[in-house]
Amino acid sequence: MPQSSTAALPSRDDATAEMITAAGDFYRFGWLHGTSGNLSTRLSDEEVLITASGKSKGALTPDDFLIVDPQGKPASKKGPRPSAETGVHMAMYKALPEVGAVYHVHHLHAALCGKRDFKQGYTFINDVEMIKGLGLWEPEASARIPIVENHHDLDELARAIAAHLNSEDFDATVPGINLRNHGVYAWGKTPAEARRHIETFGYLFEYSWLSPMHDAESQAVRGFAR
């Protein structure tokens, strides 16, 4: 794992507290039904703190987190198993050295947009103030939130995401990816930034899904009411 360019990485205690709060809020928004989703924070160049596999996210405790190395291997043989999608997190930390936290939720409208827009490869967002929440503060900013094919095998998924992040098409200004029929991953330099990005994606996907309802032109395009 390349050295993180982030000056101050959080302590394990701070990262744990931040992720417990964020996961609880996301759970209550309905974005982490079942035991879905996973959150991680980089503690050092050799350590990532990540949620354990198979836990309900509404009331996590410090015991529901564990440390893995850059290959995703647990630091301790005891303790809980890491999230099944640990490899995806590690692919992001490896490809994006400035990233300090990776959050993944199962926001319903992310999955819906991912299904709707998969053929074109992205969900297009423009002309909406909340795009600033992705860190896109330029005038007339737009975003193509990429939709990556979902893979059943999670190692294969991690490789596909690594390939995407290292491809020429990859647009580093958009801080996340949407997996087809699956859900959104967002990253940030800090846990607070990853949280801002996840919540912003949630808003943007819901906005993108609902806005054509009263839009005759879009309805024709979508086949919504024709």
Which residues are at the interface with a second copy (CB under 8 A)? 21, 25, 27-30, 33-36, 56, 58-59, 106, 108, 111-112, 115-116, 127-130, 133, 138-140, 150, 152-153, 179, 181-183, 192, 195-197, 199-200, 202-203, 206-207, 209-217, 219, 222-226
Q: How many other C-beta atoms can be found within 10 angstroms of the C-beta atom of residue 30?
A: 12
Give CA–CA dist 133/23, Å, rounded. Answer: 19
Instruction: Specify the residue, 67 or 111, whose C-beta has the smaller distance to a second copy.
Output: 111
Distance in angstroms (rounded) separating the CA atoms of residues 196 and 84? 24
Q: Minimum CB separation from a second copy for residue 159, in Å?
A: 16
Looking at beta carbons only, is 67 or 195 nearer to a second copy? 195
Shortest distance in whole angstroms from residue 70 CB to a second copy = 25
The nearer residue to a second copy, 65 or 205, going by C-beta atoms, is 205
Minimum Å distance from CB 10 to a second copy?
15
Based on CB atoms, which residue is closest to a second copy, 69 or 156? 156
- What is d(CA 13, CA 17) in angstroms, rounded to the nearest whole number? 6
Neighbour tally for 62: CB within 10 Å: 12
- Smallest CA-to-CA distance from 20 within 58, 54, 77 is with 58
Using H for helix, E for strand and C for coil, what is the string for 133-164? HHCCCCCCCEEEEEEECCCCCHHHHHHHHHHH
Is the Cβ–Cβ distance between 127 and 159 less than 8 Å? no
Binding residues for Zn(2+) are 104, 106
User: Would you say 33 or 73 has its CB closer to a second copy?
Assistant: 33
Contact yes or no for 177/146 (Cβ under 8 A): yes
d(CA 72, CA 85): 10
**Cα–Cα–Cα angle for 42, 36, 183, rounded to 5 degrees:** 80
The minimum distance between CB 17 and a second copy, in angstroms, equals 11
- In Å, what is the CA distance from 204 to each residue of 37, 110, 131, 208, 211? 19, 9, 8, 6, 10
Measured from the CB of residue 196, what is the shortest distance to a second copy in angstroms? 5
The residue (of 77 and 226) whose beta carbon lies closer to a second copy is: 226
Tell the smallest beta-carbon distance from residue 45 to a second copy (Å): 27
